[in-house]
Amino acid sequence: MSVADSYFDTLYQDSRDPWAFRKRWYEKRKRNLVLAALPRGFYDKVFEPGCSNGELSLRLADRCHDLLCCDTSGRAIELAAQRLANKLNVRLQQARLPEQWPGGRFDLIVLSELCYYLDAADLERLIGCALRALNRGGTLLACHWRPVIEGCPLTGDQVHARLHEGLGMPRLLRHEEPDLLLEVWCHDATSVAEREGLREREA
C-alpha cells in the first residue's frame, strides 16, 4: 500500500523543512548532482512531482521555460509557493500521484525522492503516466535514497529496477553511491558530447 497523505501532513506540521533540504550538505550536493546529470542545459517544459518545499524546484526553474511542480501535501505546496514566489515560469499544483497525474506533455520529468512511497502497483501506473506524458526525445531523471525507509513499500534500488524495466528507454547515465542512486533515461540516446559535435555517434 502506498504511503498515506497523513504521513506527510504530520511531517510538515513539525517542520517547514522536514528533510533539512536547506541545511544538509548531502542534500545540497545531491541537487548539484541532479542538475549536472541532465543531458541538456535547458528545457522547454519540465514536470517535478513530489516537489516538497521547492528547494530543487528553485534550481530547475533556471533550466527551463515552464516548470510544473506538484506535491500531495497542501502544506508543501504552500511552502514551495513561498520559496518560488519570484519564479514567474513556475506553476504549482496539489495532486496525489498517480491518480491525479496532470495533463500536458513534458520534455523532462524529474522523480526525486518520490517513488519509494508508492507500492508496486502505483509505481507501475506512474511509469505509464510518465511515458505517455514525455514528448518525443524526452528525458526522465530519477534520484532516490538507497537504504530501507521504515514504512515505505519499496527501496530506492527496487524503484530504479522497476523504472528501468518499465520505461524501456535507453539509459544515458547511472550514478551509484552507498546512499543514493541517480539515473537518466531518454528516448534520444545521443550523448552530450555527440550533441555538441565532439564525437560521432557509434553505430
CA 121 to CA 159: how far, in whole Å? 12
Q: Find all residues with CB under 8 Å of 29, minimum gap 6, and list them.
A: none
What spatial distance separates the first Cα and last Cα of the chain, rounded to whole Å? 44
Question: Residues 131-155: pLDDT tens digits?
Answer: 999 999 999 999 999 999 999 999 9
CA 46 to CA 42: how far, in whole Å? 10
Mean pLDDT of 108-132: 98
Entry pTM: 0.95
Residue 203 has a pLDDT of 62
- Find residue 109's DSSP bridge partners: 47, 140
pLDDT at 11 over 90: no
Question: Residues 84-109: pLDDT tens digits?
Answer: 999 999 999 999 999 999 999 999 99
pLDDT at 2 over 80: yes
CA 200 to CA 91: how far, in whole Å? 38
> Percent of the chain at pLDDT above 90?
83
CATH number for the domain whose boundaries are 5-195:
3.40.50.150
